[in-house]
Amino acid sequence: MNPKYAILFDPVPIGPVTAPNRFYQVPHASGMTEANPRVRAAFRATKAEGGWGVVSTGAVSIHPSCDDSPLPFARLWDDNDVRAHALVTEAVHAHGALAAIELWHGGAAVMNRSSRIAPYSPSGIPWAATHVGFMGQQRPRAMDAGDIRDVIRWQAAAARRAHAAGFDIVYVYAGMGYLGHQFLLPEYNQRADAYGGSLANRVRFVRELVEATREAVGAHCGVALRISLEHLRARPSEHHASEAHEAVALMADVPDLWDVKLDSSPTDCGASRFRPEAAHEPVVDFVKQLTGKPVVGVGRFTSPDTMVSQVQRGILDLIGAARPSIADPFLPNKIREGREDEIRECIGCNICIASWHDGVPVRCTQNPTVGEEWRRGWHPERVPPAGRSDNVLIVGAGPAGLEAALVAARRGYEVTLADRAAETGGRLLFETRLPGLASWGRVRDYRLQALQQMGNVTLYPGSELSAAELLAAEHAHLVIATGARWTRHLYSAMEIPAGRLEQDGVFTPDDLAAGRLPEPPVLVYDFDNYYLGGCVAEHLAAQGLAVTYATPAGHASAWTFMTNEQPFVHRALHERGIGLITLSTLRGHRDGVARLEGVFTGAPREVAAASIVIVGHREPRDELYRAIMAHSAAHADAGIKSVSRIGDALAPGAIVHAVHAGHLWARQLDAAADEACLRDLPITAAGPGAAYVAPNGPEAG
């Protein structure tokens, strides 16, 4: 290990338990619930194996009055849920790490769509009710004194069950708009009793939750308080620098650990496109000055130098991570073993967060094994040895080809990777030059650096290969990873790509990647709805071109609400002076004028546009695959055992899909049969029909 990183491996006491090092996987959503307990346990255990000293669950509901359906969430409602959580703690403990559980009551930020209990809140005010996940037509009820006592009792009961499940650290959650946080904010807490008004009153509920948790399990478990400080830091306080300072001062030594964060997913889990590493520091930098207890915080930390700086400058005691631990579960071990240049750094794309919004187990662009640890038996660092064949030729060194090459080479195959471009990276070569996307280059850099160090890999940049060359290449397995191309398809009234606008002045992102610059003014017409349309508009505006962005969707880059980017996309377009037209389809383009039509109204509209960039539909670039398959009769004589199409060349998708496809292909090479994909099932102590406790009814826990 580099001695300057030794400080990261200091143990840190947290109440009655001790974290073995400063690497702390903070609570984060995984999309895994009681429905897939083994998937969940293997996912968390892999991080413990990789050296994280503390491994936490995601939010775990303490009671049916906190029901986030249909989003995936975990429960600890009664003893039936204990065993499934114990799978996690046993697996984490097996690697010497501590297990933490984030007990959670969502208050007015959950809609209780399944339990049908009127949501709880301090004063009957709904939380962020325009966010799609929070939209519901039932307003929350204002909690009375009995409700407050109930929630505190439910927290204590859940804490006891957490201890029974083997957890070492038990959380109280007062962040991200959930119930504890709502009590802290005067906008949501307008109570006239001892729980509202002054900040000393507003922290009372949170303090009582912490005290009840300590009383329940404090002799055995550390009690952590997770708190959002962004809005409070912006609020003035009479005797402190801000209300955030005052809140921390009021509860300075109440918890055993402070877990400090920002207020909402878009700011707390900001995409790298808009937020750099350590972006939380200006909000949380004061906490350690006010408490003697350890402090953990996040900041998409992937650089050990940044981590050391956080500790040495007294910002954090524990280096919290969610995304960096997903992208590389072995990040701590790599630092400890002096292999920090092998860290698979998170690129900050937030596909992991989109998985949660999708309601499925977490996926990661950089780490295709995530969520597959139990189901497919994939390990992020180990691969099975090579099978019978000895050599592989991969055409196309984009994300799919690079990942296929890396995994095949690690398995021990002789790998040849060719690309017609002078550099490897495929789509990344252009996309990482767009505003905000530089760190996505880590997808290429991590793989290329590893490949360049392996003796069984030959790279051929600048090599466009034909079917005849493939037939003569004497390789057993051919992989076609030649990507996709953007088309000039328009968007039909049926909401599908239809008809093409093949005429002068109409560009695609491929034209821009090839160095062609459209004549201004430019209309960027986006029905891809992910990042590229917005990025291309920004890219052109940054070069001084007049740009208008139009989309049939209701928002710019409509799908990016899934990745926490959307508010910042709108802000970026606005700041660059880019005109925004939503809910409009492009009908035609002539004489410097683009004709648009309102999606719902049919109202015509004309926009001055010397050129148009259509960011819409992609088609596989699969000519090479079709050409080689046209010679399938000659494959056996040429020694070819298989020809595969992977990534965008098969089905155009996001980078996460291409990396996963490359990984899957290489894992399955020479497999006797299709890889088994195991199906997980719930574990309960009791059979179906076990009762849970209705609110305000008798409480068993």
Which of the listed partners (ligand ADP, ligand SF4, none) does 482 bind, with a CB threshold of 5 to 8 Å by partner kind?
A: ligand ADP
Whole-Å CA distances, 82 to 36, 93, 170 = 14, 16, 14
Pick the binder of ligand ADP from 27, 50, 401, 533 (CB under 6 A).
Answer: 401
State yes or no: residue 419 binds ligand ADP (CB under 6 A): yes
Nearest CA among 315, 310, 246 for reference residue 284: 315
Q: Are 109 and 127 in contact (CB under 8 A)?
A: yes
Q: Give one DSSP letter per residue of 110-158, joined into a string.
A: ---TTT-PPPEESSSPPSSTTSGGG--S-PPEEP-HHHHHHHHHHHHHH
For residues 14 and 531, what is the distance between their CA atoms, to the nearest angstrom? Answer: 41
Pick the binder of ligand SF4 from 33, 56, 57, 350 (CB under 6 A).
Answer: 350
For residues 537 and 519, what is the distance between their CA atoms, to the nearest angstrom? Answer: 13
Pick the binder of ligand SF4 from 326, 523, 550, 624 (CB under 6 A).
Answer: 326
Q: In the window 57-96, what residues touch ligand SF4 (CB under 6 A)?
A: none
Which of the listed partners (ligand ADP, ligand SF4, none) does 420 bind, with a CB threshold of 5 to 8 Å by partner kind?
A: ligand ADP
State yes or no: residue 259 binds ligand ADP (CB under 6 A): no
Strand 506-507, strand 497-500: pairing:
unpaired
- Which residues share a beta bridge with 75? 61
What end-to-end distance do the CA atoms of the chain give, in Å? 47
Rank residues 155 and 267 by Cβ distance to ligand SF4 and give the closer one: 267
Q: Give one DSSP letter per residue of 275-332, joined into a string.
A: --TTTTHHHHTTHHHH-SS-EEE-S----HHHHHHHHHTTS-SEEEESHHHHH-TTHH
Q: Are 273 and 241 in contact (CB under 8 A)?
A: no
Q: Are 476 and 688 in contact (CB under 8 A)?
A: no
Minimum Å gap between C-beta 262 and ligand SF4 is 16
Q: Which of 120, 178, 525, 549 is catalytic?
A: 178
State yes or no: residue 434 binds ligand ADP (CB under 6 A): no
Amino acid at 210: V
Rank residues 441 and 567 by Cβ distance to ligand ADP and give the closer one: 441
Rank residues 15 and 332 by Cβ distance to ligand SF4 and give the closer one: 332
Locate 275 and state its tokens.
């937020």
State yes or no: residue 396 binds ligand ADP (CB under 6 A): yes
Q: Are 245 and 252 in contact (CB under 8 A)?
A: no
Whole-Å CA distances, 149 to 233, 460, 686, 693 = 29, 68, 28, 15
Site string for ligand SF4, 425-464 (x = CB under 6 A): ----------------------------------------
* Stretch of 54-62, 107-115, 237-245, 396-404 contacting ligand ADP, by CB under 6 A: 396-404
178 catalytic? Reply is yes
For residues 684 and 647, what is the distance between their CA atoms, to the nearest angstrom? Answer: 39
Amino acid at 218: G
Pick the binder of ligand SF4 from 84, 176, 327, 541 (CB under 6 A).
Answer: 327
Strand 593-598, strand 584-590: pairing:
antiparallel
State yes or no: residue 157 binds ligand SF4 (CB under 6 A): no
Helix boundaries (H) for 517-591 = 531-542, 566-575
Q: In the window 353-372, what residues touch ligand SF4 (CB under 6 A)?
A: 364-366
State yes or no: residue 323 binds ligand SF4 (CB under 6 A): yes
State yes or no: residue 246 binds ligand ADP (CB under 6 A): no
Give the binding-site size for ligand SF4 (rule: CB under 6 A).
13
Q: What is the chain's percent helix, strand, coil content, to nearest 5?
A: 35, 20, 50
Give the binding-site size for ligand ADP (rule: CB under 6 A).
25
For residues 273 and 537, what is the distance between their CA atoms, to the nearest angstrom? Answer: 14
Which of the listed partners (ligand ADP, ligand SF4, none) does 400 bind, with a CB threshold of 5 to 8 Å by partner kind?
A: ligand ADP
State yes or no: residue 481 binds ligand ADP (CB under 6 A): yes
Minimum Å gap between C-beta 343 and ligand SF4 is 12
Minimum Å gap between C-beta 440 and ligand SF4 is 9
* Stretch of 144-152, 248-256, 349-357, 593-601 contacting ligand SF4, by CB under 6 A: 349-357
* Stretch of 169-177, 287-295, 374-382, 394-402 contacting ligand ADP, by CB under 6 A: 394-402
State yes or no: residue 218 binds ligand ADP (CB under 6 A): no
For residues 644 and 656, what is the distance between their CA atoms, to the nearest angstrom? Answer: 19
428 SS3 class: helix
Rank residues 248 and 481 by Cβ distance to ligand ADP and give the closer one: 481
Pick the binder of ligand SF4 from 51, 53, 348, 497 (CB under 6 A).
Answer: 348
Pick the binder of ligand ADP from 240, 420, 555, 605 (CB under 6 A).
Answer: 420
State yes or no: residue 349 binds ligand SF4 (CB under 6 A): yes
State yes or no: residue 352 binds ligand SF4 (CB under 6 A): yes
Whole-Å CA distances, 13 to 20, 222, 365, 382 = 9, 9, 34, 32
* Stretch of 86-94, 243-251, 393-401, 668-676 contacting ligand ADP, by CB under 6 A: 393-401
Rank residues 331 and 397 by Cβ distance to ligand ADP and give the closer one: 397
Minimum Å gap between C-beta 556 and ligand ADP is 24
For residues 698 and 66, what is the distance between their CA atoms, to the nearest angstrom? Answer: 17
Rank residues 464 and 575 by Cβ distance to ligand ADP and give the closer one: 464
Q: In the window 616-675, what residues touch ligand ADP (CB under 6 A)?
A: 621, 624, 647-649, 658
State yes or no: residue 402 binds ligand SF4 (CB under 6 A): no
Residue 91 C-alpha from the chain's centroid: 23
Rank residues 395 and 524 by Cβ distance to ligand ADP and give the closer one: 395
For residues 350 and 278, what is the distance between their CA atoms, to the nearest angstrom? Answer: 16
542 SS3 class: helix
Residue 125 CB contacts under 8 Å (≥ 6 apart), including other chains: 108, 140, 182, 187, 188, 190
State yes or no: residue 368 binds ligand ADP (CB under 6 A): no
State yes or no: residue 406 binds ligand ADP (CB under 6 A): no
Which of the listed partners (ligand ADP, ligand SF4, none) does 326 bind, with a CB threshold of 5 to 8 Å by partner kind?
A: ligand SF4
For residues 136 and 463, what is the distance between their CA atoms, to the nearest angstrom? Answer: 56
Locate 688 and state its tokens.
């179906």
State yes or no: residue 465 binds ligand ADP (CB under 6 A): yes
State yes or no: residue 270 binds ligand ADP (CB under 6 A): no
For residues 664 and 244, what is the distance between their CA atoms, to the nearest angstrom? Answer: 47
Pick the binder of ligand SF4 from 250, 295, 351, 501 (CB under 6 A).
Answer: 351
State yes or no: residue 346 binds ligand SF4 (CB under 6 A): yes
* Stretch of 259-267, 270-278, 306-314, 418-426 contacting ligand ADP, by CB under 6 A: 418-426
Which of the listed partners (ligand SF4, ligand ADP, none) does 348 bind, with a CB threshold of 5 to 8 Å by partner kind?
A: ligand SF4
The footprint of ligand SF4 (CB under 6 A) covers 323, 326-327, 346-352, 364-366
The footprint of ligand ADP (CB under 6 A) covers 395-401, 418-421, 426-427, 464-465, 481-484, 621, 624, 647-649, 658
Active site residues: 178
